[in-house]
Amino acid sequence: MIEFRTHPDRYKHWKLSFDGPVATLAMDVSEDGGLNPGYQLKLNSYDLGVDIELYDATQRLRFEHPEVGAVVLTSAKDNVFCAGANIKMLGLAAHAEKVNFCKFTNETRNGIEDASKFSRQAYICAINGTAAGGGYEMALATDHIMLVDDNASAVSLPEVPLLAVLPGTGGLTRVVDKRKVRRDHADFFCTLTEGIKGARAVNWKLVDEVVPKSKMADMVGQRAREFAAKTDRPAAASGIALGELSREVNEDGVAYDHVTLKYERANNVVNITVAAPSEPVPTSPADIHAAGTAFWPLALARELDDAILHLRANEQALGLWVVRTEGDSDLVAQADQVLADNSGDWLVREVTLYLKRVFKRIDVTSRSVIAMVEPGSCFTGTLAELLFTADRSFMLDGVLEGDNRPATVRLTEMNFGAYPMCNDLTRLETRFLDDAASVAAVRAKIGADLTAREAEALGLVTFAPDDIDWDDEVRMAIEERASLSPDALTGMEASLRFAGPETLETKIFGRLTAWQNWIFQRPNAVGAEGALKLFGTGKRANFDENRV
């Protein structure tokens, strides 16, 4: 089983150090520390295990170190920055493993950009050697790229000429959309195996500055202090420790404190139940900080995050996620009010941003999602976002025998801006695309417990069967979904979920991921005579020359 929980004490591949408002995150990959056997992680190349540690480190920098305003991302090895994703690992990996690897690394790099933009924790990349492929893509996620000027170090995206695949972690998109490299320059750059260095790298906007080797350390420190001085993070505040997440795993599911997964393997279904807080959450910043990871919104984010990653990596055949909630809607609404009232507090800001990223993980996960609004449900505010991530939803109209509780949905202010999707719109704005009247109509219902008929009329749920039809309609929906092609569903869902304006993130997940998914199955890349399979053997790939 792939484990996403880790701690700096257990890192094999990264070193974290601190100097006041500046942190240094140094890549020092253990060659023999691969997640799976059969390859060595030479030249700071990486696999999923390396990136799991990177993700953990970026999370801890946000929550445990409010004093840090700038992070230097560099290499602890001499004359090499990062050779990118390990090619032998990619050659040995199953198709699904390659795709999941690319998706997670993309999310991690998006998280770095999110930290820079919203947490005001800037990232400076100090390239002290060659940055190839994913190594340069890692640099592209930062705010400022510094390249050592030693007549040898270069940046490159050599995947197309060397491996017949794409730079899988947003390189193509970030080069043109983020760094504004001219298309013709980008075209040349992405077909050049040796990369570009020195003044041309700066002139073409591939890096921000080149620095002589003798001055590199001093200049990196100077830039980091300059960026750190611009932050609004509280230098005197104390962070909260992200302790080990409580979890029980067995063959039939996973149990956290607030999230439960129960598998129906015969139907390829996982039932996901998310619980509201059992008591009011703390209201003052001091009490929120004292609660730490027990603060329900943060506990919820951590548990959902781990659950999503666990299901993606370890339960790939469970293609339908059926989402339910339970608990007291008033307590969720109170928690949402606390988040809104304390939005200026650095920790509350981090918790809200974390929830945003977790909901985005669901949006970009290749699983069907159906939400069930039943008696005892608690699709309120933050938990209502789970309803709006679903591909379709069912809400009981009426009551069930022996249970007089009606099914309701309640909106809060958190549904109207706190958790935007990859397209920079809220889920409600995406649902009612270019329909401001419908958004205004549902916004007018903030705080109201909406019945099934009201929710259906407002467009908040797909279907509202009564108690007579409920069981049959739910059963048929699940059976129908299970009968369809998982491949076709993945393509359909991703296309439908990315409605609205295109952003850097939607390009990465809606366009790049789709192309890379296809290319990873093409014989030109992964066939017996494909470039990815033959890399390092000295043999030349035998390409099918047809453009399809």
Burial of 438 (0-12, 13-18, 19+ CB in 10 A): middle
State the chain's mean pLDDT as an integer. Answer: 96
Per-residue model confidence (pLDDT) at position 198: 96
3.40.1190.20, 3.90.226.10, 3.60.15.10, 1.10.287.70: CATH of 254-492: 3.90.226.10
CA 427/CA 446 separation, integer angstroms: 15
Per-residue model confidence (pLDDT) at position 392: 97
Of 182, 125, 129, 136, whose CA–CA distance to 158 is shortest?
136
All residues at 6 or more sequence positions from 94 whose CB lies less than 8 Å from its CB, including other chains: none
CA 473/CA 132 separation, integer angstroms: 52
CB 346 within 8 A of CB 234: yes
CB 121 within 8 A of CB 233: yes
pLDDT in tens, 26-72: 999 999 999 999 999 999 999 999 999 999 999 999 999 999 999 99
The letter for the amino acid at 33 is G
Q: What angle is formed at CA 45 by the lines to CA 536 and CA 243, rounded to 5 degrees? A: 150
pLDDT in tens, 236-264: 999 999 999 999 999 999 999 999 999 99
Burial of 460 (0-12, 13-18, 19+ CB in 10 A): buried
Q: What angle is formed at CA 461 by the lines to CA 328 and CA 440, rounded to 5 degrees? A: 90
**Torsions phi, psi of 144, nearest 5?**
-145, 125
Are both 10-217 and 254-492 of the same fold? yes
Partner residues linked to 147 by β-bridges? 127, 210
**Class for domain 10-217, per CATH?**
alpha beta
369: DSSP letter: E
Domain regions of the chain by residue span: 10-217, 254-492
Per-residue model confidence (pLDDT) at position 510: 87
Name the one residue in this structure whose structure tokens are 């219902």. 445
> Which residues of the chain have a pLDDT value below 70?
none
